[in-house]
Structure 1
């Protein structure tokens, strides 16, 4: 039974398929499916083309995974060698015997060989040494790295501290030719002379060679310190070169100072010569008057002893002479006469009389101020 409240009641004579095709309102327009985002159907040709393009892109990217920043095999570096020595792309790259990457390419650059390689999760310094070494007895090679330096290596700057191995066949061939040209008799004579020379130094040759080996090992282990020392020496040389004019002026001033010292040396030499002459003169005077100087020195010695014995008496005399000198100065210190006063000479009942008489000025002027009659 149909619901009377349904705004769009269904017609029992029309099925659901016809209703979907005719639309919900029965107007004949096709109804849109609620789960469809696009009104039309996709073309199978376009879908297939997009799929083929995606597959081609995936296939090509699989050949260049090593070039991708996140999926690659690590940092890429270049080393310059004098020869390839049989090193090929795909050979291992090792650090301390552990594989850390592989060789990508070996190309010729003038008279040098550029070896491009990759390393993964390995620090490479700016002074890293690269060496081509033999991996198997069949001649397979690998690239050995010895990381050194204080700064990370720049991937754009090739490594130049490289060592190429010897070719065993070429080395033995060259050795055979050189050995064939040797004079056996002369070689035997040289060996006998060498044996006779070192026969008495058996106890010292070994320690000497061992000391040389230790010295070489020490220098090798201090490579970074030697590098820094050379860099500091270079900086010092640069500073000295920049201060060249100052050093020239300093050396010129030192020359003037030396000239002045030479002049003073001549003056000092003249003074020493005069002093020597004075000493010779005094020596002659002493020798000429030795008979008179001896008794005079003896008499002076006696006077000195006498003064030492009378030292306390002299001190007492000076001590007691002070009051006398004070009174003497009071009496004669006002002029060329004695001046003194006597208190209470007359009895107290008598009036005081002026017993002093001033000097006669006219008489003094006539007598020249001396007061003499």
Structure 2
């Protein structure tokens, strides 16, 4: 039984400490949520500020953000509460600050010089508020330097830059220390930088050696661009005409598609007919030179042909036209020797 006494005492002490810590935490949370003096601030940019974010004064949390909305379609209206034991003087400036590089923000209250307190519900206009620092523009300016640093050094230097430019947190000496390490890193890579400069000098030497050609190219390009600018109306009308031509060609193809399709189908039938009558075509082509030779001799007397009509037949009920001045019978009878063949 005696051996269990120390264990029981330690367990009781642990339970008491845990309960007290839980009660203290609950009291802290309860005291920091609601019940404070309410104020309103108008910011030109409140991006990433959320409900429940801290309100700090001299780095100490004195309240929290209650609501964020848009006012007049141009500013962010932020309502926040401050501990009633912390009075705000007239001229106090509410500024948005970054808690970390992740993008979390809080409102920092910088007390004014006046000794007159602000009433509850007072509004901080845009003249007494400051938006958060634009990290994008800031880091873009340091981008060439960040490329030469390790990721850990980049994070440290970035965070210190943010704090220094916000006028709080780390000192300028810390920033200079990080810059010194950056300078040392650059010095360690002086050979690479020197080689880069030498290569750049070589490129510039080649460009300088062809200065006349480069100048001529630039001048010619400028003339070309100027000419195109002067003829922009003509070019525009040409494009309009090209559009009309495209529409017309499209309509023509639309109208000619059906006849063309029928012609292709008929061409296929003709090709099949010619293929099926190949012997007849071969016989015709074989006799064609003889017939053309005889026809040539017949037409050699002049611009006429001598012919002999062996037979004329008409359909029943039709009238054959009689030549002018002809009085005889136009019925031909095949009695000549030439018609017997």
So what's the TM-score if we normalise by structure 1?
0.28
Higher Rg of the two aligned structures: 1
Higher relative contact order (CA 8 A, sep 6+): 2
